[in-house]
Amino acid sequence: MEDKVHGVFVGEKVSKVRWKPEDLVESDIFLTGSWDNEFINSNMFVVSSTVGSVKLLKIDGKEPCLAALKEVMSWDDIHFLSVGGHIPCTGLAVFEEDIVSVGEDGCLCLLTARQKMPVRRIEGADSCSLRCVCFLKHNEVLTGNLRGQMKVWDLKNAVNKPASTFMLSGEQTGASCVTHHPTQRHMVLAGGEDGSLTVWDLRHHTFPVTLLSAHSDAVSELQFHPDRPEHLFTCSTSGEIWHWNTSSMSRSAHLGTMPSEFPRDENLWLNSDVAKHRLEVFTLMPQLHKPINSLDVSKNRVVCGCDNEAVYVFKNVVL
């Protein structure tokens, strides 16, 4: 395992990491920051900060080490309160050139990469701080708040009300991160502050399809592998980073049933067997004594950034 893991200590707390997306080649470059970073296309990325502004930066130059970050556009103070001033922006989601940002003021802001003014601002989207956001479709966004209330917003609709709402769990566990399945957008996975993982089918969302109590502390980030969606990676504030592999389930299921009975695109996560025993979970590295704040996946490499101010890269992750 030693040569697969390469750790480097950087001199600051890493709260987000992202691979620079390359089309064919494995990314060699990743960004770390104490802000929230998201890539729009392979050269531009959006950064949000705790003073409530969002900036679009571009990586200049061919050489990765000498790359300078040039600010292309900046939306300042999009999260702002009349009393209290700047409010941290807690989450960003990107879909092609549209950016959605949510903040502690409970405000949802829609921006587009080409325009200086925000396209739309939904103030008071939530009475509590919003903690996470993800795009479901081009015009649909899912947000989660401090109390675990998830709301689906239809951005085409001019009314400032969520299309639907559901609670993450009976108690007030906050939603710490949310992600959608890469191919089946109606399936959403949310991580909670108590370390639980809930799987939701947005078509009928009164109860979660599956509830797994996974980590011992809040799940800080969830990511599906973009090309191989039966692999999920999660990291938590208890210092654990796990790789969930459902590919063995799909193999055994195919063997046991007739092809016609088993719809090929049935999502294994929605299958309740997942909760029982057919899931393999690997831990990518021994438990760290500090929270792991963020991870990102690209081809067969995973990078994660932690509160012990180090960044770890795992190469050749078995898929």
Q: Which residues bind another protein (CB under 8 A)?
A: 9-13, 15, 50, 81-84, 88, 90, 104-106, 126-129, 131, 146-147, 149, 151, 165, 167, 170-172, 174, 193, 217-218, 237, 289-291, 307-310
Please state the closest distance from residue 176 (CB atom) to another protein, in A. 9
Rounded Cα–Cα distance for residues 40 and 52 (Å): 19
Please state the closest distance from residue 220 (CB atom) to another protein, in A. 10
Please state the closest distance from residue 299 (CB atom) to another protein, in A. 28
Using the minimum distance from each CB to another protein, give the nearer residue, 90 or 246: 90
Rounded Cα–Cα distance for residues 80 and 100 (Å): 16
Q: Cα–Cα–Cα angle for 42, 44, 49, nearest 5°?
A: 130
Q: Sign (positive/negative) of CA torsion 89, 238, 305, 297?
A: negative
Please state the closest distance from residue 112 (CB atom) to another protein, in A. 26
Using the minimum distance from each CB to another protein, give the nearer residue, 38 or 193: 193
Please state the closest distance from residue 192 (CB atom) to another protein, in A. 12
Candidates 17, 89, 19; CA nearest to 55 is 89
DSSP lists the bridge partners of residue 310 as 9
Q: How far is CA 310 from CA 9, 15, 119, 140, 166, in A?
A: 4, 10, 37, 35, 37
Residue whose structure tokens are 């990586």: 59
Using the minimum distance from each CB to another protein, give the nearer residue, 59 or 146: 146
Please state the closest distance from residue 209 (CB atom) to another protein, in A. 20
Using the minimum distance from each CB to another protein, give the nearer residue, 129 or 245: 129
Residue 308 in tokens = 């012990």
Q: How far is CA 21 from the centre of its chain?
A: 15
Please state the closest distance from residue 172 (CB atom) to another protein, in A. 6
Q: Is 163 helix (H, G, I), strand (E, B) or coil?
A: coil
| Exposure letters 243-260 (e unless 16+ CB within 10 A, then b) | bbbbeebbeebeeeeeee
Number of C-beta neighbours around residue 28 at 10 A: 12
Please state the closest distance from residue 144 (CB atom) to another protein, in A. 13
Using the minimum distance from each CB to another protein, give the nearer residue, 20 or 79: 79
Using the minimum distance from each CB to another protein, give the nearer residue, 93 or 132: 132
Using the minimum distance from each CB to another protein, give the nearer residue, 55 or 147: 147
Using the minimum distance from each CB to another protein, give the nearer residue, 40 or 125: 125
Using the minimum distance from each CB to another protein, give the nearer residue, 38 or 104: 104
Residue 50 in tokens = 């705790």
Instruction: Name the DSSP class of 162.
Output: -
- CB within 8 A of 267, min separation 6: which ones? 181, 184, 187
Rounded Cα–Cα distance for residues 223 and 208 (Å): 19
As to burial, measured by CB atoms within 10 angstroms (0-12 exposed, 13-18 middle, 19+ buried), residue 203 is exposed
Q: Is 251 helix (H, G, I), strand (E, B) or coil?
A: helix
Please state the closest distance from residue 51 (CB atom) to another protein, in A. 10
